[in-house]
Amino acid sequence: MFEGAAISSEQGAKLDYAALVVDLNTLLRLKTTVIGMKMFASVAEMEAVPKIRRPNAVHTADQIVSMASRLGWTVGITAADLVGEQCRAVIGLAPQDEQWLAGRSYVGVWHATPEDAHARQCALDVVPFGQYQAMAVSPLASGRLDPDICLVYATPGQMIILINGLQYAGYKKFEWSVVGETACADSWGRALKTGEPSLSLPCFAERRYGGVPDEEMLMALKPAHLAKAIDGMKQLAKNGLRYPIAPYGIQADVRAGMGVSYGEK
């Protein structure tokens, strides 16, 4: 478990999500809306979310997420709203059975052999099947959800400052995976499954269908972890370690610059 973070649902419910987003945007100057994602044990619970929209077409999970992060919508879905078993299985809305694990539809497309496709399917972090019937996403600042996880899209420069904020107190070395296609398993799949901050390189499908731009990475993390990162980034900013990171000059004498950060306090 990530040290130094209060991550119970009771504590998470006390967070001021709108204030978190203001702080995060001030610190990182994000261009994409920070959103929350929540799983629901019943469809009725999902449909009770204020101003919830329901799809009238079949989509990928990437599209649903981007309706919140790119359009600012609050959207709820069930398994029937998603295009196939892959999207459903990552968030626990379809079984991860032997047929799914075989990954036969990916042979000759994403992988050379059935063994490769099977290995990729087995590598995915997914929410166990049977706990949930629905999922919703919404801009975090709206307060319409008390989310299980938050999704932050950011450039590499912004993302490393966010990570530095997470590591400021209660340091932990992060080790993240890259499964390739179905990279949502590296972000929201892993974060929902483990409760740990989870970074991903959005995959082809996320960029083609979800509209994620070339320069963005994705961090999925619990609300209390996001609050912890913000606290850490505020402390880093006081030390002059903030975004945007001003280039010092590749031929300049580095001692003056280093002295500001590491000189005697």
Structural domain boundaries in the chain? 9-262
pLDDT band at 2 (very low <50, low <70, confident <90, very high): very low
Q: How far apart are CA 231 and CA 20, in angstroms?
A: 10
Q: How far apart are CA 9 and CA 6, in angstroms?
A: 9
pLDDT of residue 16: 97
Average confidence (pLDDT) over 133-141: 98
Tokens 């991903």 identify what position? 200
Tokens 């009771």 identify what position? 10
pLDDT band at 88 (very low <50, low <70, confident <90, very high): very high
In tens, the pLDDT along 230-246 reads: 999 999 999 999 999 99
Percent of the chain with pLDDT over 90: 91
Q: Which residue has the higher pLDDT, 7 or 76?
A: 76
pLDDT of residue 5: 37
User: Measured at the alpha carbon of residue 21, what is the angle toward residues 15 and 25, in degrees to the nearest 5?
Assistant: 150
Q: How far apart are CA 49 and CA 44, in angstroms?
A: 9
- Residue of 152, 155, 166, 137 whose CA lies nearest to 36: 137
- Statement: residue 10 has pLDDT above 80: no
In tens, the pLDDT along 41-87 reads: 999 999 999 999 999 999 999 999 999 999 999 999 999 999 999 99
User: pTM for the whole thing?
Assistant: 0.93
pLDDT of residue 98: 97
Phi, then psi, of 80 in degrees rounded to 5: -65, -20
pLDDT of residue 265: 55
Give the 3-state secondary structure of residue 226.
Answer: helix
- Statement: residue 11 has pLDDT above 50: no
190 and 220 Cβ atoms separated by less than 8 Å? yes
Q: Which residue has the higher pLDDT, 244 or 263?
A: 244
